[in-house]
Amino acid sequence: MRRVNPKLMIALIAASLVVSLAVVVPAVAGEGRTILQFNTMVGVQSPYTGSANPIRGINGGGLPWAIMGAQGVLQANGHLELNVHGLVIAPNTTNPALVGTNPIPNFKAVVSCMSVDNGTATTVNVSTGLFPATTTGDAHINTTVSLPSPCIAPIVFVTSPTGAWFAATGN
């Protein structure tokens, strides 16, 4: 019978424990876990334009907007990837000359979460920096935001540089 060196056995057990923790800790922390994936957004419509009916404290853009398509993924670590297609001014009577165009050269994204602060329900809105948008309303963002913990029922908004929303997750 062959005898096992006790020091070698302890070293192997310790190495196994370190490898196990390295695999388990990211899963526990939520790294890379998808918390919201979407293939549609809706443009701001009356009565949500302006400040009359904000959603989670975010006012709508001043005119109605329409969107052809959007795809996005939000991960638990705050990584947001968002592709916006055809986000333009919708038909309206206020300024018909702008219909079908995007007059805003840069958009932002805002992630809105319901969270908990000292046992009290709260809304937390976190914003990205500016990202370029075409006159036809196409844009891409790939960034990371600092999400609250927990981030319950997240909504992603595409906004103006000042934070008025033009499109939001939903249908």
- CA 122 – CA 152 distance, rounded (Å): 10
- Per-residue pLDDT of 102-117, as tens digits, reads 999 999 999 999 999 9
Q: Point out which residues pair with 5 in neighbouring strands.
A: none
Q: Is 57 left (phi over 0), alpha (psi -120 to 50) or beta?
A: left
- CA 155 – CA 53 distance, rounded (Å): 16
- Per-residue pLDDT of 34-70, as tens digits, reads 999 999 999 999 999 999 999 999 999 999 999 999 9
For the entire predicted model, the pTM comes to: 0.81
Kindly provide the b/e burial profile for residues 120-150, where b requires at least 16 CB atoms within 10 angstroms of the residue's own CB.
eeeebbbebeebebeeebbbebeeebebbee
